[in-house]
Amino acid sequence: MSHEPDARDAERVALAEAWIAQDPDPETREELASIVESVRGGDAEASADLADRFDSRLAFGTAGLRGEIAAGPNRMNRVLVAQAAAGLAAYLLEHAEPGTTPSVVIGYDGRKNSAVFARDSAELMAGAGVRAILLPRLLPTPVLAFAVRHFDTSAGIMVTASHNPPNDNGYKVYLGGEHHGSQIVAPADAEIAAHILHVASTATVPALPRASFETAGEEVVDEYVRLTAESAAPGAPAAQPRVVYTAMHGVGWETAARVLETAGFDAPALVEAQIAPDAAFPTVSFPNPEEPGAMDLSFERAREVDAELVVANDPDADRLAVAIPDAAAPGGAGYRRLTGNEVGLTLGWLAARRAAEVSGDAGPSGSLACSIVSSPGLEAVARAYGLDFEATLTGFKWISRAPGLVFGFEEALGYLVNPGVVRDKDGISAAAAFLSLAAELKAEGKTIADHLDEFVERFGCHASGQVSIRVTDLSRIGAVMSRLRAEPPASVGGIRVERIEDLADGFGGLPPSDVLRIVLEGGARVMVRPSGTEPKLKVYLDAVSEQGTVAERRALATATIATLEAGMRELVA
């Protein structure tokens, strides 16, 4: 389809040409030059593409930047990364104590351009007067989060898009000092963003000074391995569970293998096709263990070796997925992936029990924490062990800041099991902790499935579900949220709504967030929010049953979740 180029096209073409002139990447230069040529030729599709790239800009969201690798300010590329690095450097220099030099440690995973973005950032940070340390090679995100504390740097940068589609990349920012290596939160995010915009409007990338940087030695990885093995899996395993592991084409295996070996575990059977880092992610359409089909090869391998446990890290190894044998699994898979809430509650119980064992007669102290969209079952665990409980906004930038944190989790497969080592979700330490529990249970003649039954018997059945609606038009998400606020439902699937809590203006001491919490009769709960990292509207469903046998509790809670799911699909359609 063609159209006559107008004034807005001319403005965007001028912006694009200025962008091309400062872009050090020949691939994105050529890509953008081709689009510009098509716009000049009256190509309407190219005009819309250029508008999408230049009418807005990737902004700091959940912990930093994330987007598709392509040319333009609304994409991930070397120009945007250079501006981000220079802006972050300006922020660190502005906040440094007089007479001190701020510092940053930078890590990167195996995605396309990760190493390039990391080296650009190191050179530009050093050129701005910040001490810059680059990790020695591609490594998991948890190693970078650890390195911020290990080197006591002012900040950390991890170049990764975690479990996003193959052509995405991202830029996670951590802060040291009083932030203890947690991801950025307000007001730092807005201040950094303002510095980035200032750089973008006042300087070109070739004019930004560059300098040589330091490269960390292997000792930082060695120390992460040692401390993770000690804290996540203390003591020799009481038994050796049969385990299958996949890295989902990411960077987790090398480090995970060392941690498990140091902790005394036998080497797991591997999903060989997914072990080596591969930016193309050839065996999965979406490299996220939560996505349907993502763990099919893991289940195939598990059937071959009669595995008692399947363990999967996402591509940057900050998340963990776990599956257990289940003859009733759909399609004859023979294995069922546990939900993030099931794993989180299991690890939370383990952490509480360990805290009680260490504290002795004095009783445990500290807190268990999870995000507001994760299972409220963690509060029941905390209450049973005399621990405090903290419900935070979504994201480990909040969970990691819970006072006296002992353990934290998020239903999206994120677990923080050793806050003294890493103040972020860590799929490797979580895997070691889960294997430690599985080994303990096996020595007692029990399975993880038995343990889940014991949880229900002791704490009640805390069932959960989720409705996730992916959109191409982001305005649809805003429209649904506005409609729910303007016309609040009196019931969901026939279950009466007791109250609706709007977190937009803050609620219960939480910072403002675009979240609706619908509290229903019988203890059920629905949370509705836009995703912070993907074009999705997310609806989280929770129900609890504490009466009857384990089977009866499960049946009632599961039926309630099904009712809530049907009701919410109608409401958000």
Distance CA 29, CA 34 (A): 9
User: Measuring CA to CA, which residue among 190, 173, 14, 167 is closest to residue 76?
Assistant: 167
Distance CA 382, CA 336 (A): 27
Distance CA 199, CA 221 (A): 34
162 tagged catalytic: yes
Q: Would you say 537 and 471 are in contact if contact means Cβ atoms under 8 Å apart?
A: yes
Q: Which of 16-29 are b and which e, b meaning 16 or more Cβ less than 10 Å from the residue's Cβ?
A: beebbebbebeebb
Q: Which amino acid is at 160?
A: T
Our measurement of the distance from residue 499's CA atom to the centroid of its chain's CA atoms, rounded to an integer in Å, reads 30
Q: Would you say 89 and 256 are in contact if contact means Cβ atoms under 8 Å apart?
A: no
Q: Would you say 106 and 69 are in contact if contact means Cβ atoms under 8 Å apart?
A: no
* CB count in 10 Å sphere of residue 210: 16
Distance CA 197, CA 8 (A): 22
CB-side neighbour CA atoms (13 Å) of 498: 9
Residue position matching structure tokens 């074009």 = 535
Using CA atoms, how far residue 496 sits from 352, 491, 499, 566, in Å, is 34, 4, 9, 14
Our measurement of the distance from residue 274's CA atom to the centroid of its chain's CA atoms, rounded to an integer in Å, reads 20
Q: Is the peptide bond before 187 cis (omega within 30 degrees of 0)?
A: yes
Per residue, the 3-state secondary structure of 254-317, as one string, reads HHHHHHHHHCCCCCCEECHHHCCCCCCCCCCCCCCCCCCCCCHHHHHHHHHHCCCEEEEECCCC
Return phi, psi of residue 414, to 5°. Answer: -110, 130
DSSP 8-class letter at 34? H
Distance CA 239, CA 435 (A): 10
Maximum Cα–Cα distance across the chain: 80
Task: List the catalytic residue out of 121, 162, 298, 371.
Answer: 162
Q: Which amino acid is at 151?
A: F
User: Measuring CA to CA, which residue among 148, 144, 194 is closest to residue 170?
Assistant: 144
Which amino acids are annotated catalytic?
A: 162
